[in-house]
Amino acid sequence: MTTSFGGGGRSAVGVVNEVHIPKFHGVLNLSCNAISLPSTTRSLSLIRALSTPATVTEKRSKVEIFKEQSNFIRYPLNEELLTDAPNINEPATQLIKFHGSYQQYNRDERGSRTYSFMLRTKNPCGKVPNQLYLTMDDLADQFGIGTLRLTTRQTFQLHGVPKKDLKTVMSTIIQNMGSTLGACGDLNRNVLAPAAPFVRKDYLFAQKTAENIAALLTPQSGFYYDIWVDGERVLTSEPPEVIKARNDNSHGTNFTDSPEPIYGTQFLPRKFKIAVTVPTDNSVDLLTNDIGVVVVTDDAGEPQGFNIYVGGGMGRTHRLEATFPRLAEPLGYVPKEDILYAVKAIVVTQRENGRRDDRKYSRMKYLISSWGVEKFRNVVEEYYGKKFEPLRELPEWEFKSHLGWHQQGDGSLFCGLHVDNGRIGGKMKKTLREVIEKYNLNVRITPNQNIILTDIRASWKRPITTALAQAGLLEPRFVDPLNITAMACPAFPLCPLAITEAERGIPDILKRIRAVFEKIGLKYNESVVVRITGCPNGCARPYMAELGLVGDGPNSYQGNKNQTSLAQSFMDKVKILDLEKVLEPLFYHWKQKRHSKESFGDFTTRIGFEKLKQYIEKWEGPVAPARHNLRLFADKETYEAIDELAKLQNKSAHQLAMEVIRNFVASSQNGKSE
C-alpha cells in the first residue's frame, strides 16, 4: 500500500503550478505496500483532420488497431455478442467499453472464471429522472447482484450482468430515459457538475453547460443504437448552439468525410474527463479533470463566461516515475457564448497530438507536461480561432457535500444522503425505492458517491426523514465525520485491475482510524479525508485526499486532503496490519503541534517528510487516557431499537449511541444544535 499525505485541504491555500486555490489542504498518500504527501514536441502548424489514418508509420497500440478495424466500434462486438460463450474476445472487450460496459470475472473464485459485465450509465450533472432510477433498481435485482453502485463521476454502476442479458438490460435503460454510451472508452466520459438542485443562476448555468458539453461530445455514428436497439434511435432535441458548434469547421477541427465529425475512426487516445462548477463549490474535484470549467458571473450574479483549466488526471503506474497524477493548470478565460468552441478545440488538440503508441502516456496531462502549457495554449488557439483572455479572479474554494436538508430556492426541499462507498443494497435499497416511488422524486448522484433526493414538499420532510432513518440513512450530523468524506473504489472481487481491497476494506480501516483518534484524544468532530483505491489508476481520487491509500500488493498500500493540491508518496509498501504504527504518531503530533484550525494535510506539508518519519521512528506511544464506564441504555426497548439501526451500519449499539451523543455534543458546542 502506498500512503500519501497533504493533497487536499479544507482551509489553506494549495499552490500547484502557480495555481492558487485556497480552502483545501494537504494530503498524505499511502501506497499500501506505501505512504505519500502533497506534494515530443510537434509542429505548431495546423493539422488537417482525417477520418481514417492515411499512411501509418508510427507505432500504435493494439487498441488503436482495434478501433480502426471496428467499423466505428461495431465489429467484432456485434458478432461476439451472438456466440454462446459467456465472454467476448479481446477486441470486443475493448470496444464494449465505448458502449459503457466492462467485462469482468469473480476474482474470489479459484479455477474456472465466472464472467459477467459491469454497466455504467451516463448522467451529466448526476441527474437521474424518477423513471430511470426505478428502472435501474429493478435491473439490479433482475439481472445484477442486487445492488447499485454510485460512482465518483455521478453515474450508476450495475455489476454482475451475464452476457446473454446484456441486450435486454441495455435496451431497457435506453427505453427508460437512460444511456450508457461513452461512459467508458477513449472518448469524453460523464461530465460532472455540482449535484445540488439550487434554483440559482450560476448553478443552473453550470449544469446546462455540462449537459451541452456532454451533447457536443456524444458519438454521432449510431453504433450504440445499432448494437443494442437494432438501430432504433431515441429522439432527443439538442440545443441549436450544440449542433452549430459540432458542425462548425471554420478552423479545421472536423472530419468532413466521417460519421464521427469530432472523433473520426480513432476517437481519442485515451479517456477524457470534464467538470463544470461555480465559484467556491469544489464538490467536483475540479483540478483532477482533463478540462475544468468554472462559471464567472458579474456582480448581479449573471453568468458572463468561464475560467478554463487543463491537464488534470489521477492515474499512474506503480514504480514508473514517468507516470504521475497531475492537477489541471490555468488555460484562460472565454466569454460564455464561446465555451463549446473552446472545449472542442482542446479535445481536438488532444485528438491530434496525444500519444497513441503507449497507453500509459496517452492522457492529455502527459501532452501538456511534455509541451508546457504555453505551447498547448497556442495550438488550442489555432483550433479555437481566438486568443484566450486572462483568468478572472475567483474566491476561495470549499468542499461542499450538499448533504442534509436544504431549500432549493423554488419552495421545494432537497435531501442529500450519505451512502458509504456509494453502495446501495439491502434495506437501504428497498427504502430508497419506496420513498422515491411514493413521492415521485427525481434524484441526483454526487461526485462523492452520495445521493440527493430533489423536489420535496415541506410537508413530506418528516415522514421521509423517519423512513430513511429506519433504513440507516441518517442526517449527516449522526454519521461519523470520517465516513462523510471517505471514498473507495469497488476493487475486489470484480475489478480486473485491483491489487488490494478498497470498498470491502475501508469500513475496517475507518474504524481503526477512529480508534486511533480516541486513543490519542482527538475530538470526535475532527476528521481527515480518507480515500482508498485497489490500484494506482485512482478512481476514488486518492491523490487528492489527506490520507490516500493506493493498493500495491496483498494487504499493502501506498499512502496520500482537500481537493486542490496533490498528495505526494510518503511511504511505500505499508502493510495494512502496520497502519496504526504509522498513523498513531502522526495524528498525535498533529494534535499537539498544529496551528489554529490547521488540517492534517496542511500540518504534514508544513512539517515535511523527514520530520514526520522521525515521529514514526521514535514513537513510544501516548499516555492512555482514563476510560469511563458509562451506562448508555436505561431500558431494553431503547437498546433493541438502537441495536437494530446499528446493524444496518455494521456497528454495535454502543458505537452508534456514542456517535450520536458525540455529534450532538459537537453540534451544540458549535452553536448548531437544533
Question: How far is the C-alpha of 174 from the C-alpha of 233, rounded, in Å?
Answer: 9
Reading phi first (left if > 0) and then psi (alpha if -120 to 50, else beta), residue 455 is in left
338/427 same-domain check: no
Residues 6+ positions from 31 with CB-CB distance below 8 Å: 1, 2, 3, 4, 318, 536, 549, 550, 552, 556, 557, 558, 559, 569, 571, 572, 573, 574
CATH number at residue 509: 3.30.413.10
575/601 same-domain check: yes
pLDDT grade for 316, boundaries at 50, 70 and 90: confident
On whether the CB atoms of residues 452 and 195 are closer than 8 A, the answer is yes
231/356 same-domain check: yes
- Do strands 148-150 and 127-128 pair parallel, antiparallel, or not at all (unpaired)? unpaired
The three-state secondary structure class of 413 is strand
Among 353, 384, 415, the domain boundary falls at 384
Query: Is residue 314's pLDDT more than 80?
Result: yes
Q: HSE (CB half, 13 Å, CA atoms) of 455?
A: 13
pLDDT grade for 553, boundaries at 50, 70 and 90: low
Give me the number of domains the chain comprises. Answer: 4
527/582 same-domain check: yes
Query: Is residue 41's pLDDT more than 70?
Result: no
238/326 same-domain check: yes
Q: HSE (CB half, 13 Å, CA atoms) of 33?
A: 13
Average of per-residue pLDDT across 216-239: 92
- Mean pLDDT score of the chain, rounded to an integer? 87
**88 versus 651: which is more confidently predicted?**
88
Do the domain assignments include residue 447? yes
454/555 same-domain check: no
Residue 646: its pLDDT value, please? 79
Greatest mean pLDDT among 356-370, 542-556, 633-647 lies in 356-370
pLDDT grade for 46, boundaries at 50, 70 and 90: very low
255/349 same-domain check: yes
311/332 same-domain check: yes
Q: Give the three cell numbers for residue 663.
A: 455529534
Peptide bond into 53 cis (omega under 30): no
Query: Is residue 468's pLDDT more than 80?
Result: yes
496/612 same-domain check: yes
Among 454, 478, 502, the domain boundary falls at 478
CATH number at residue 441: 3.90.480.10
On whether the CB atoms of residues 154 and 192 are closer than 8 A, the answer is yes
Question: How far is the C-alpha of 448 from the C-alpha of 476, rounded, in Å?
Answer: 14
Do the domain assignments include residue 628? no
The model's pLDDT over 618-629, given as tens digits with 9 standing for 90+, comes to 998 886 555 555
The model's pLDDT over 554-606, given as tens digits with 9 standing for 90+, comes to 554 444 434 567 777 787 777 888 899 999 999 999 999 999 989 998 999 89
- pLDDT over 70 percentage in the chain: 86
Parent domain of 252: 62-69+185-384
Query: Is residue 22's pLDDT more than 70?
Result: no
Burial class of 557 by CB neighbour count within 10 A (0 to 12, 13 to 18, 19+): buried
On whether the CB atoms of residues 559 and 11 are closer than 8 A, the answer is no
- pLDDT over 90 percentage in the chain: 66
Burial 600-631 (b: 16+ CB within 10 A, else e): bbbbbbebebeebbebbeeeeebeeeeeeeee
Q: pTM for the whole thing?
A: 0.85
Q: Where are the alpha helices (DSSP H) in 318-412?
A: 339-353, 364-371, 373-384
Residues 6+ positions from 342 with CB-CB distance below 8 Å: 306, 308, 334, 380, 384, 388
DSSP string of 540-566, one letter each residue: T-GGGSSEEEE--BTTEEEE---TTS-
Query: Is residue 293's pLDDT more than 70?
Result: yes
Do the domain assignments include residue 521? yes
Burial 214-247 (b: 16+ CB within 10 A, else e): bbbbbbebebbbbbbeeeeeeeeeeeeebeebbe
Q: Where are the alpha helices (DSSP H) in 537-648?
A: 579-593, 600-607, 609-617, 636-648
Residue 355: its pLDDT value, please? 97
Do the domain assignments include residue 43? no
Do the domain assignments include residue 519? yes
428/546 same-domain check: no
pLDDT grade for 76, boundaries at 50, 70 and 90: very high
The three-state secondary structure class of 517 is helix
Residue 545: its pLDDT value, please? 86
**378 versus 627: which is more confidently predicted?**
378
Do the domain assignments include residue 659? yes
Query: Is residue 391's pLDDT more than 60?
Result: yes
On whether the CB atoms of residues 199 and 294 are closer than 8 A, the answer is no
- CA 294, 300, 302 angle in degrees (round to 5)? 45
Max alpha carbon distance in the chain (Å)?
Answer: 81
Q: Flag the least confident range among 91-95, 265-269, 650-654.
A: 650-654
pLDDT grade for 294, boundaries at 50, 70 and 90: very high
Q: Tell me how far the alpha carbon of residue 442 is from its chain's centroid.
A: 21
The model's pLDDT over 267-292, given as tens digits with 9 standing for 90+, comes to 999 999 999 999 999 999 999 999 99
Among 455, 478, 501, the domain boundary falls at 478
**555, 552, 558, 566: which is closest to 582 by C-alpha?**
558
Residues 6+ positions from 87 with CB-CB distance below 8 Å: 103, 105, 113, 115, 163
- How many residues can be counted in the chain? 674
**500 versus 269: which is more confidently predicted?**
269
Query: Is residue 472's pLDDT more than 90?
Result: yes
Query: Is residue 237's pLDDT more than 70?
Result: yes
Residue 396: its pLDDT value, please? 92
Do the domain assignments include residue 563? yes
Do the domain assignments include residue 127? no
337/245 same-domain check: yes
Residue 9: its pLDDT value, please? 44
- Do strands 101-105 and 115-120 pair parallel, antiparallel, or not at all (unpaired)? antiparallel
The model's pLDDT over 123-179, given as tens digits with 9 standing for 90+, comes to 999 999 999 999 999 999 999 999 999 999 999 999 999 999 999 999 999 999 999
Q: Flag the least confident range among 102-116, 350-364, 395-409, 508-522.
A: 102-116
The model's pLDDT over 658-673, given as tens digits with 9 standing for 90+, comes to 778 877 777 776 655 4
Cα distances (Å, whole numbers) of residue 516 to 313, 369, 474: 32, 40, 24
370/233 same-domain check: yes
Q: Flag the least confident range among 468-477, 554-563, 600-609, 642-651.
A: 554-563
DSSP designation for 297: E
